Amino acid sequence: DWTPKAMVEELVEQVREQVGDDRALCALSGGVDSSVAAALVQRAIGDQLTCVFVDHGLLREGEAEQVKQDFVDATGVDLVVVDASAQFLGALAGVSDPEEKRKIIGREFIRVFEQAARDIVLDRGDEEHPVKFLVQGTLYPDVVESGGGTGAANIKSHHNVGGLPDDLQFSLIEPLRLLFKDEVRQVGLELGVPEQIVHRQPFPGPGLGIRVVGEVTKERLDVLRAADQIAREELSAAGLDREIWQCPVVLLADVRSVGVQGDGRTYGHPIVLRPVSSEDAMTADWTRLPYDVLARISGRITNEVPEVNRVTLDVTSKPPGTIEWE
């Protein structure tokens, strides 16, 4: 019989066996998956684990602060924050192909972690126990969609499964790789991870980098971040957080349309709202949000974000559309 308690015990045992006396790093993203994976591995190996939070410059407004407060305060996990936004934006310059972006982001992630691993060893003067393991919050749907579980075609290279460089210096610990999202949430609660993290909506590892359709630049990210914050505020205020699975906000950075804002004609960019309902992200339906909520989001974005003069709603299910636009 599947119970969260039994699952935690089994996974903790597996992690202990795999890691032994060595050190592990966890890529903390602030999302449910990596938070639960971190809490689980911490339960298993204690201070042999250090969590690394990479600020890749592709985060939503306030996200880094939230991770520090919510997660660290709750778990007391050892956290290192690395500001690598310049490195990521540099590597992404001139790139607009979605798969290429994902690969670049995945590659830079690993580089940052490898450097963090070396730094942690130096800091602690513990050359005898170098960091050998990298904890990843990979779930079963990620494994399947990356072709790892079944040999299925690679649909998108999720950075936490595919697209890793050949010279990878870590072995992976993926304690959640056979679980679905609802099971991960139960495991998280069993481990004492706070509710607001356990029920946080999914956010992709590559972050806003795959929600700017087109080349990713700091200016475009700032526009998207402002629009995304408004959408999140209004959805929360309407009490819809638990009703929707997630609502990507997407900037069509290479598309322009004519508008009239304030005193004159504008030639701005469209924002796409992509609210979806889902059980496990493998399939999804578009969420029928109340019109008045949509109206408030649209009104505020076009008023408060001058670069955006149109807000559109994505009414596509998955399949045929994926949840993310890239």
Q: Does 206 bind ligand XMP (CB under 6 A)?
A: yes
In the shown chain, the binding pattern of residues 36 to 75 toward ligand XMP, with x for contact by CB under 6 A and - for none, equals ----------------------------------------
Out of 187, 191, 252, 323, the residue judged to bind ligand XMP by CB under 6 A: 323
Q: For residue 292, say whether it is annotated as part of any ligand binding site.
A: no
8 Å CB contact between 45 and 14: no
Identity (one letter) of the amino acid at 117? A
Q: Is 233 helix (H, G, I), strand (E, B) or coil?
A: helix
Contact string 120-139 vs ligand XMP (x = CB under 6 A):
--------------------
According to CB under 6 A, which one of 57, 188, 205, 209 is a site residue for ligand XMP?
A: 205
Measured from the CB atom, the residue of 206 and 270 that comes closer to ligand XMP is: 206
Comparing CB distances to ligand XMP, the nearer of 26 and 120 is 26
Indicate which single residue of 101, 103, 158, 177 sits in contact with ligand XMP (rule: CB under 6 A): 158
End-to-end Cα separation, the chain, in angstroms: 38
19 in Cβ contact with 44 (< 8 Å): yes
Residue from the set 194, 202, 214, 259 that interacts with ligand XMP by CB under 6 A: 202
By C-beta, is 30 or 270 nearer to ligand XMP? 30
Residue 35 has phi, psi (to 5 degrees) of -65, -45
Question: Binding residue for ligand XMP (CB under 6 A) from 103, 159, 185, 310?
Answer: 159
Encoding tokens for residue 263? 């005193």
Site residue total, ligand XMP (CB under 6 A): 15
Q: Is 106 annotated for ligand binding?
A: no
* Residues of this chain, 274-313, that bind ligand XMP according to CB under 6 A: 281
User: Closer CB to ligand XMP, residue 202 or residue 259?
Assistant: 202
DSSP type of residue 116: H
Ligand-binding site membership of 35 (annotated)? yes
Cα distance between residue 197 and residue 37, in whole Å: 12
Give the one residue of 23, 43, 56, 156 binding ligand XMP; rule: CB under 6 A. Answer: 156
Residue with tokens 């670049």: 104
Tokens 């200016």 found at: 219
DSSP state of 125: T
Residues 247 and 202 sit within 8 Å (Cβ to Cβ):
no
Question: Binding residue per annotation — 277?
Answer: no
User: Would you say 50 or 246 has its CB closer to ligand XMP?
Assistant: 246
Nearer to ligand XMP, 149 or 259 (CB): 149
Distance CA 28, CA 25 (A): 9
Options 53-61, 266-274, 287-295, 315-323: segment touching ligand XMP (CB under 6 A) = 315-323
Preceding peptide of 275 cis, ω within 30°: no
Phi-psi label, residue 31: left if phi above 0, alpha if psi -120 to 50, beta otherwise: beta
Q: How far apart are CA 253 and CA 208, in angstroms?
A: 12
CA separation for the pair 130, 117 (Å, rounded): 8
Instruction: Confirm whether residue 207 is marked as ligand binding.
Output: no
Q: Near ligand XMP by CB under 6 A, which window of 12-20, 83-91, 202-210, 231-239?
A: 202-210
Task: Tell me the closest approach of the beta carbon of residue 128 to ligand XMP, in angstroms.
Answer: 33
SS3 (DSSP) at 131: strand
Check the CA dihedral 238-244-246-248 and report its sign: negative
Residues that bind ligand XMP (CB under 6 A): 102, 156, 158-160, 202, 204-206, 246, 281, 318, 322-324
Question: Which amino acids are annotated as binding site for ATP, given as ranges?
Answer: 29-35
